Copies of this chain bind each other. A is one copy, B any other.
């Protein structure tokens, strides 16, 4: 299942958050991009159409979306945070282009075996895992060659 603006709107309202024009503008930018975006980048993009919005509102909106599980954070993006809209709702991971920040989602993470062995070997009760791949996308490979 993928997230539509309608669905996001309904989730937010259900949890007591209003879908204001500012939040709609932030959502539009995040949903319209294939790349992961920093708060500053979102700010700059939103500002092109909505020049009065404050950076504070960007952060507030990001934090809400994150709390509701509607956006994904990328961890291999250097210092600082970077987000993109949650495209598959189910458990998944990211393949990130180090050239243009494009993100491809994938769901076939088969870590159950490793997880079980690790758990048996260490006695840890494993709660979550973080898996991300970094590479160069076809477009950026071409750009690099030419």
A residues adjacent to B (C-beta < 8 A): 75-76, 95, 97-98, 104, 106, 108-110, 114-115, 117-119, 121-138, 141
- B138 near A134 (CB under 8 angstroms)? no
> Complex: how many Å from CA A89 to CA B95?
26
- Assess whether B98 is in contact with A127, with CB atoms less than 8 Å apart: yes
Residues of chain B within 8 A (CB-CB) of A128 are: 76, 133-135
B129–A133 contact, CB under 8 A?
yes
The answer to whether A125 and B141 touch across the interface, beta carbons within 8 angstroms, is: yes
- Taking a contact as CB atoms closer than 8 A, the residue among B109, B122, B133, B136 that contacts A95 in the complex is B122
Cross-chain contact A127 with B135 (CB below 8 angstroms): yes
A124-B106 Cα distance, complex, nearest whole Å: 13
Q: How far is the CB of A94 from chain B (nearest CB, A)?
A: 10
In whole angstroms, how far apart are the Cα atoms of A97 and B122 in the complex? 11
A127-B134, A128-B135 known; 16 new pairs, CB 8 Å cut-off, are A75-B75, A95-B122, A95-B126, A98-B127, A104-B118, A104-B124, A106-B121, A123-B138, A123-B141, A124-B133, A124-B137, A124-B138, A128-B133, A129-B133, A129-B134, A130-B132
